[in-house]
Structure 1
Amino acid sequence: MSPTPAPPAPPPVAMTGPGTDAADLRTFGYEPELRRSIGSYASFAAGFSFVSILTTVFQLFAFGFSFGGPAFFWTWPLVFAGQFMVALTFAELAARYPISGCIYQWSRRLSNSAVGWFAGWVMIIAQTVTVAAAAIALQVVLPSIWSGFQLVGGDPSLTSPTGATNAVILGSILIGLTTLVNVIGVRLMAIINSTGVTLEIIGVVAVVVLLLVNAERGPAVVFDTGGTGSGFGYVGAFLVSALMAAYVVVGFDSAGELSEETRDPRHTAPRTILRALAASGIGGGLMLLVALMAAPSLTDGRLATEGLPYVLMSRLGETGGRILLIDVAIAIVVCTLAIQTAGSRMVFSMARDGVLPFSAALRKVSPRTGAPALPAIVVGVGAAAVLLVNIGQAALFTALTSVCIVMLYMAYALVTVPLLVRRLKGWPRGEDAAATERGGRLFSLGRWGMAVNVLAVVYGIGMILNLGWPRQEVYDPSGEHWYLHYFSLLFVGGSLVVGALVYQRYRARTSGSLLRLPVAAVAEGEAA
């Protein structure tokens, strides 16, 4: 194996502005092409809207409750704590490598071109499927707001033929709109995203306050397992219910994905990654708690099937519940937009290195909009194609969207594990002496870095096993399809095999892309 180049030390920049950001990017071997128009709040919004607690907690509350009862609440702080360890390591990397397609870029600079390529490949697949999973959530909300949104007459349930068809129509329309926004440019995306996130935060606060006012029981409800087990007998149910939180708390790295379009990214991106995750963790935890406290009943079965919408409509009435559902719909829109934007930047970043099929076309940036249009279209078309699976194959679509979260965690591990190996060799090798664009010190964990990194790796590997374990109750509840039971293993394995074939085609280019690193960094790696 060829020597792995050490990460390049960032220059001690002490001035801010477009010229400084452009010069900084050139130290990594790239010419500035993307338009820098994202500020601190828009960067925060990118991460917060990907997590989108108003969308995902709304969708998945019933899943967690059905497996773990009220005590499933404790899975939320545990998952949040684990992901915060991951986010802390990402914040360090965002300060040192402010480059689009951050998971790919960080992984290849910390390890080698092969590991980095697979991190990017896995991330592209996961993000594309996640766009479809977010877009299909409109079917859960819009027909409840107004029956006219049920364009295909009949049962609006996602699992019914008419509901599945309508879900694909609504989701495809949404993906078409988000694709158009991404093609127009990042400035419009940032405005829409920031506005939507502001409304989502208002909605989260409203849900927490209104349900707290209507609470029927105290916070001690979170110690009730709801008959799903006790003592060690509850561990299995608890681990399954933890998938709800694991599905939700991802995507906070989006601020890093947009680094090349963010002003002062070394200063801004690390802070917004952590703020987005912290706000999501606190807001989501409070929503879970007050929903359990305000639920009309914990035993009538409706909480395990209808989830949070049941609580809202029961406590706030038709009008109040419908207003909040509108806010949820807005959150779904900006969530889909943010995920697609992040996915398109990953495609662009890898294509810029010439390591994807049709790289010459995918790397092009419109001089008028300052955005890569074709990657957004590719991600949008891919997500729309995934949506079609839901027609007549709702169980397969559910399995597919579940597995994409496994792949997101795998991509994260392909960053945290190489980073841990680098730390054992002395990383960051004096880089903390460098400065941000504003003259401040780069974000650093200091002496806590090793401990945090170890926890991030242990958590990530543990959650990959928990998410990917072939449980029938998760992947094939009806027990009718053996391939769904083992779908996580089949899909991940198939994706890696296909990825290996594609990688062989571009292997020489991936090695050559490392030549973009500064000569001093390559020399340092060889010396190591």
Structure 2
Amino acid sequence: MTATAPPPSADATGPAGDSAALAGFGYSQELHRSMGRYASFAAGFSFISVLTTVFQFFAFGYSFGGGAFFWTWPAVLLGQLLVAACFAELAARYPISGAIYQWSTRLSRPTFGWFAGWIMVTGQIVVVAAAALALQVVLPAIWSGFQLVGGDPAPTTATGAANAAVLAGMLLALTTLVNVLDNRVLSAINRIGVTAEIIGAALIIVLLLTHSERGGGVTLRTGGEGGTIGALLVGAFAAAYVLIGFDSAGEMSEETRHPRRTAPRTILTALFAAGVLATLMVLGGLLAAPSLTDGRLATEGLAYVLTSSLGSGVGKALLVDVAVAIAVATLAIQTSATRMLFSMARDGVVPASRVLSRVSPRTGMPAAPAVTVGVAAAGLCLLNLASPEAFLAIGTTCIAMLYLAYAMVTGPMLVRRLRGGWSADPGVDETGRPLFSLGRWGLPINALALVYGLAMTVNLAWPRAAVYDPEGGHWYFQWFTALFLGATVLLGAVYRARRRPAEAPVAQPAPVP
């Protein structure tokens, strides 16, 4: 395996040229390269999935931040765009599956890169579980028959939490099957789902804004305890959870045609489009809510606004679109985690690497990683049976882990720049045009991206009792994020220390020259 591959010449186009470029990194073309620009965009957008995550966390954000939590959305979007700009540069230079692991390893040292990949794939598995649990927010609101467990369907109740685990298990069985079938089937479902989600999100925004009950002054009201700053720091959790996963376009690079040109642009466009739609949706929800004081907006969120303001028929029809978005998002996130696990297994740096690195020649899909991710996510969903607080603990844990993994890329990247090891002339893409580059803005953008990422990681992991254990008596939920992250690092350290020689990678990539 080599550190980097020379950018292809202008005439090295098509699948053969893309495969040859991948061979320059020391890998053979096993995954089927069938994705175009829209499919690459769909990979990033469906991971973010504004309908899934806004509906999932709107109530939480409003309950702590009040109407002012609206302003956390443009703030988080700006911070994430800084990170995405750095990732776009890396996607152009290193179009390889397992992006976070591969980028961190090549920018720093193999051990540091391994921990970045380990934290990222673990965080992705937790995100899969959190996305699947979101079905509980919409399905019972569409039809009471989806409340299979019986009782109160609210996710914060014992019966709602138990039903969420049941629905999530069913969804994960379906997404795991699709992740084993065929790359073309997976790509088609992503494209169709994202198209339906964009149309649905735009329609929801228009309908909410045309059914406004109040003016924009609602965005100046704060809620919760701890003052305005404290309320907004917690309210920002919603935006932080939504605006992640844009790196999925990079994860799918080995399945994308012309990835050096395509992936950088789809990373940025997926994040920007999702951020704008999410921000407008939150604003529309605040303006159209029948009441800000009856408590329903802080418990039922946007599902309550849709069915109350737009009527039961229209509201439930739109919720069906949301349910489809949740299913597609769960599928996309599982796919991203599968590619990360496959990439690490291909280098022989995880347990059972031989099995996890196998790709079906017929389907071009790594089946074993897909099953592993699906089973692990389903196991995490069972925590919901223990307590409703598990829902929030799982959600915030996955965000914190992904933010930390992102910082483990932007950090070494900044060090590389400061040491003068970042080339100002990266070469050309598959079409002969210059690779995506931040130029002279690279250093300040990189530095701000790292500071933002670390600050948000601390904010997410801070053990606030009012957030993670509001009822009291569950100290382990209050400290769940810190404990889970610590256990992940400890388990990884034990494995690295005790790894048998037979499990060692064939070759480790050297740092970027």
TM-score bin (small chain): over 0.9
Contact 1:117 1:503 survives alignment (8 Å): no
Where does residue 242 of structure 1 map in the other structure? 236
TM-superposition CA deviations, 1:488-523 (whole Å, max 9, x none):
2211111110010112234868985544x5xxx77x
1:277 Cα deviation from its structure 2 partner: 0.2
Question: Residues 500, 390 of structure 1: CA spacing in aligned structure 2 closer, same or farther, 3 A cutoff?
Answer: same
Question: Residues 403, 227 of structure 1: CA spacing in aligned structure 2 closer, same or farther, 3 A cutoff?
Answer: closer
1:487 aligns with 2:480: yes
Query: In the alignment, which of 344, 364, 372 is matched to residue 366 of structure 2?
Result: 372
Q: Which SS does the other structure have where 1:367 is aligned?
A: coil
1:272 aligns with 2:266: yes
1:158 Cα deviation from its structure 2 partner: 2.7
TM-superposition CA deviations, 1:268-298 (whole Å, max 9, x none):
0000000000001100010011111111122
Distance across 1 between alignment mates of 2:26 and 2:3: 15
Contact 2:212 2:284 survives alignment (8 Å): yes
Query: In the alignment, which of 147, 150, 158 is matched to residue 147 of structure 2?
Result: 150
Write the letter of the residue equivalent to 2:458. Answer: L
Contact 2:98 2:343 survives alignment (8 Å): yes
Write the letter of the residue equivalent to 1:239. Answer: L
1:112 aligns with 2:109: yes
Query: In the alignment, which of 205, 208, 211 is matched to residue 205 of structure 2?
Result: 208
CA RMSD of aligned residues (A): 1.8
Question: Residues 314, 366 of structure 1: CA spacing in aligned structure 2 closer, same or farther, 3 A cutoff?
Answer: same
Distance across 1 between alignment mates of 2:339 and 2:183: 11
Where does residue 475 of structure 1 map in the other structure? 468
1:17 aligns with 2:27: no
Where does residue 94 of structure 2 map in the other structure? 97
Distance across 1 between alignment mates of 2:421 and 2:363: 38
Identical aligned pairs, as a percentage? 60
Where does residue 51 of structure 2 map in the other structure? 54
Query: In the alignment, which of 409, 422, 434 is matched to residue 428 of structure 1?
Result: 422
Distance across 2 between alignment mates of 1:160 and 1:242: 23
Contact 1:10 1:431 survives alignment (8 Å): no
Contact 2:351 2:503 survives alignment (8 Å): no
1:393 Cα deviation from its structure 2 partner: 2.5
1:411 aligns with 2:408: no
TM-score normalised according to structure 1 size: 0.93
Where does residue 38 of structure 1 map in the other structure? 35
Where does residue 135 of structure 1 map in the other structure? 132
Distance across 2 between alignment mates of 1:66 and 1:507: 50
Contact 1:62 1:303 survives alignment (8 Å): yes
Tell me whether 370-379 or 302-311 shows the greater mean CA deviation. Answer: 302-311
1:358 aligns with 2:355: no
Where does residue 168 of structure 1 map in the other structure? 165
Write the letter of the residue equivalent to 2:406. Answer: Y
Which structure 1 residue ranges, 5 or more long, are not aligned? none
Distance across 1 between alignment mates of 2:145 and 2:324: 18
Tell me whether 251-260 or 157-166 shows the greater mean CA deviation. Answer: 157-166
Tell me whether 265-274 or 401-410 shows the greater mean CA deviation. Answer: 401-410
Matches within 5 A, 1:448-467: 448-467=441-460
Question: Residues 508, 277 of structure 1: CA spacing in aligned structure 2 closer, same or farther, 3 A cutoff?
Answer: farther
TM-superposition CA deviations, 1:181-214 (whole Å, max 9, x none):
1101221111001101111111111111101111
Write the letter of the residue equivalent to 1:417. Answer: G
TM-score normalised according to structure 2 size: 0.96
Where does residue 76 of structure 2 map in the other structure? 79
1:310 aligns with 2:284: no
Distance across 2 between alignment mates of 1:483 and 1:297: 35
Where does residue 398 of structure 1 map in the other structure? 392
1:447 aligns with 2:440: yes
Tell me whether 347-356 or 287-296 shows the greater mean CA deviation. Answer: 287-296
Distance across 2 between alignment mates of 1:151 and 1:63: 24
1:107 Cα deviation from its structure 2 partner: 0.3
1:12 Cα deviation from its structure 2 partner: 3.8
Write the letter of the residue equivalent to 1:197. Answer: V
Distance across 1 between alignment mates of 2:48 and 2:94: 23
Distance across 1 between alignment mates of 2:69 and 2:304: 18
Write the letter of the residue equivalent to 1:259. Answer: S
Distance across 1 between alignment mates of 2:3 and 2:251: 22
Contact 1:181 1:188 survives alignment (8 Å): yes
Q: Which SS does the other structure have where 1:389 is aligned?
A: helix
TM-superposition CA deviations, 1:323-351 (whole Å, max 9, x none):
01000000000000000000000000000
Tell me whether 390-399 or 367-376 shows the greater mean CA deviation. Answer: 390-399
Contact 2:87 2:264 survives alignment (8 Å): yes
Contact 1:409 1:460 survives alignment (8 Å): yes
1:445 Cα deviation from its structure 2 partner: 0.2
Tell me whether 213-222 or 461-470 shows the greater mean CA deviation. Answer: 213-222
Write the letter of the residue equivalent to 1:219. Answer: G
Distance across 2 between alignment mates of 1:343 and 1:327: 24
TM-superposition CA deviations, 1:338-392 (whole Å, max 9, x none):
0000000000000000011000010000011011011000000001111111113
1:296 aligns with 2:293: no
Q: Which SS does the other structure have where 2:429 is aligned?
A: coil
Where does residue 188 of structure 1 map in the other structure? 185
Contact 2:209 2:288 survives alignment (8 Å): yes
Work out the number of aligned pairs and report it. 512
Contact 2:31 2:254 survives alignment (8 Å): yes
Query: In the alignment, which of 117, 123, 126 is matched to residue 126 of structure 1?
Result: 123
1:108 Cα deviation from its structure 2 partner: 0.1
Question: Residues 158, 62 of structure 1: CA spacing in aligned structure 2 closer, same or farther, 3 A cutoff?
Answer: closer
Distance across 2 between alignment mates of 1:509 and 1:443: 39
Contact 1:14 1:435 survives alignment (8 Å): no
Contact 1:134 1:332 survives alignment (8 Å): yes
TM-superposition CA deviations, 1:145-176 (whole Å, max 9, x none):
12222223333233444433322221111111
1:302 Cα deviation from its structure 2 partner: 1.8
Where does residue 490 of structure 2 map in the other structure? 497
Question: Residues 322, 15 of structure 1: CA spacing in aligned structure 2 closer, same or farther, 3 A cutoff?
Answer: same
Write the letter of the residue equivalent to 2:379. Answer: A
Query: In the alignment, which of 339, 362, 366 is matched to residue 333 of structure 2?
Result: 339
